[in-house]
Structure 1
Amino acid sequence: MADNNLKIVVERNPPESKLSELNIKCWPKWGCSPGKYQLKFDAEETCYLLKGKVRVYPKGSSSLEFVEFGAGDLVIIPKGLSCTWDVSVAVDKHYKFESSSPSPSPTPPSSSASSCE
């Protein structure tokens, strides 16, 4: 049976204002071709899928217990999750790993939303 404390959170098609606030366009990018991948998350990851379709099967879950997400979804994957990614459509995503710091660092106001510096 899967660990229910390690829950994947999916926000479908978040508003552009949220994506800008998170500064997602400045996050690193990662992609993969269709296939099955065994993954373990040693840190919490937040990602935004530009394209692709994925079914995530947490380790120890049945074949009926999966989380599905795809292009346009904002996804939070918890630290400590071991899982299989079943990628049916090639993935291209922006991602960010959370630091171990319990409180987020303050972000200074920016006059340019598109600046990554």
Structure 2
Amino acid sequence: MATEKLGIKIQRNPPDSKLTQLGVRNWPKWSCPPSKFPWTYEAKETCFLLEGKVKVTPTGSNESVEIGAGDLVEFPKGMSCTWDVSVGVDKHYNFE
């Protein structure tokens, strides 16, 4: 069951069938150590976190969304935000 907060859709621990249907394991991988940086999505991104813990704060918002290992996350095109990585991230990602 996916939830949406601040425009970010999150499905925690999706079933393997969903990951296979999306082809997640064939997507490129990206990783980063603990850090904090701004990011703007030029296209819609869907990603699946293999490892890590991140607080994503959309620009202009006082609230943040926490994502972590096992989460399937969708970021909308055009969103600007700050990524605050507390535990190094390893993820599969796909831009549309």
- The TM-score bracket by the shorter chain reads over 0.9
- In structure 2, the gaps of 5 or more residues are 1-5
Q: 1:45-87, CA deviations, whole angstroms, 9 ceiling, x for partnerless residues?
A: 000000000000000111xx00111000000000000000000
- Dislocated runs of 4+, deviation >4 Å: none
2:34 corresponds to 1:34: yes
Tell me the TM-score normalised to structure 2 length: 0.93
Which residue is equivalent to 2:68? 70
**Structure 1-normalised TM-score?**
0.76
Q: Which residue of 2 aligns with 1:80?
A: 78
Q: Which has the higher strand share?
A: 2
Ranges in structure 1 where 5+ consecutive residues have no aligned partner: 1-5, 99-117
Measured against aligned partners, the alpha-carbon deviations of 1:29-49 in whole angstroms (never above 9, x if no partner) come to 000110101000010000000
Is structure 2 residue 93 aligned with structure 1 residue 95? yes
CA distance in 1, matches of 2:74, 2:56: 12
C-alpha distance in 1, partners of 2:94/2:23? 10
In 2: Cα distance, 1:19 partner to 1:40 partner: 25
Task: Answer with 1 or 2: which has the greater Rg.
Answer: 1
Amino acid at match of 1:47: C
> How many residue pairs were aligned?
91
Could you tell me which amino acid in structure 1 is paired with residue 44 of structure 2?
E
Inter-partner Cα distance in structure 1 for 2:58 and 2:23? 29
Superposition CA RMSD, Å = 0.8
